[in-house]
Amino acid sequence: MSVSAIALLAFIAIALLYGIVIYNNLVRLKHAIAKAWANIDVLLKQRHDELPKLVEVCRQYKQFEETTLTRVIEARARVSSARADHDVPALGAAEGMLRMGLGQLFAVAEAYPELKANEHFMQLQTRITALENSIADRREWYNESVNVHNVRIEQFPDLIVARLFQFSAQPLLEFSTAEKADVDMKALFSA
């Protein structure tokens, strides 16, 4: 065998090994996105399970505006539906509605000192707040995983392997401007 044939075979072997490394890295990134989504899903499920308890404690202490309660329950259902469908854009919208509903729920609780001082309510409020913070962290991790994946499938030479094996860009979890705005506490307390 000639030196040029050996060099060609070595080049092909190195290129093949490099392609395998790229493919494996893209698969790892794809699964990192799935894991990040699953982590969000776990926390949304926990929140989904905790919210009825919070609402029930509030209901037992005071029959407050039914519209506030209805908004929280409807938003919770929308989040659950979007989560089940893996609909990232719908999840963003539903999360914004739920955030506003929770703000109103906590504002209503502020108007009732006996409810605000209730130990069960305070524990649930603390738990919901902790879950909200964890969900925000997981959303950030999900978006970072998606970003790394999307950049890699567009970079050369990864894009060759990505196109060959049909790796596609994944959507970021995004929220509208209204959903990112601070909750107007003055308006909540005057409602």
Give tens-digit pLDDT for 54-92.
Answer: 767 666 655 555 666 677 778 878 888 888 887 877 887
CA nearest neighbour of 188 among 102, 97, 60, 73: 102
Instruction: For residues 29 and 33, give the distance between their C-alpha atoms in angstroms, rounded to a whole number.
Output: 6
- Average pLDDT (182-188) is 52
Please report which confidence band the pLDDT of residue 191 belongs to, taking 50, 70 and 90 as the band edges: very low
CA nearest neighbour of 47 among 91, 9, 111: 91
Give tens-digit pLDDT for 161-179.
Answer: 999 999 999 988 776 666 5
Among 28-32, 105-109, 162-166, name the one with the lowest average pLDDT: 105-109
**Paired tokens of 159:** 């894009």
Instruction: For residues 144 and 10, give the distance between their C-alpha atoms in angstroms, rounded to a whole number.
Output: 37
Q: Could you give the number of structural domains in the chain? A: 1
Instruction: For residues 47 and 139, give the distance between their C-alpha atoms in angstroms, rounded to a whole number.
Output: 14
DSSP string over 74-141: HHHHHHHHHHHHT-HHHHHHHHHHHHHHHHHHHHHHHT-HHHHT-HHHHHHHHHHHHHHHHHHHHHHH
- Average pLDDT (14-28) is 93
Give me the residue label for tokens 């926390």.
43
Please report which confidence band the pLDDT of residue 26 belongs to, taking 50, 70 and 90 as the band edges: very high
- Average pLDDT (130-151) is 88
**What residue numbers bound the domain in which 148 lies?**
3-190
* 37 Cα distance to chain centroid: 6
Instruction: For residues 7 and 181, give the distance between their C-alpha atoms in angstroms, rounded to a whole number.
Output: 61
- Average pLDDT (110-124) is 66
Looking at residue 7, the DSSP 8-state letter turns out to be H
> Which element (helix H / strand E) includes 41?
helix 3-61
Instruction: For residues 143 and 136, give the distance between their C-alpha atoms in angstroms, rounded to a whole number.
Output: 11
Among 5-9, 96-100, 152-156, name the one with the lowest average pLDDT: 96-100
Is it the case that residue 17 has pLDDT exceeding 50? yes
Whole-model pTM over 0.85: no
Domain harbouring 130, CATH code: 1.20.1440.20
| Omega cis (within 30) before 113 | no
Give tens-digit pLDDT for 41-60.
Answer: 887 777 777 777 776 766 66
Q: Is 89 within 8 Å of 35 (Cβ atoms)? A: no
| pLDDT at 166 (0 to 100) | 93
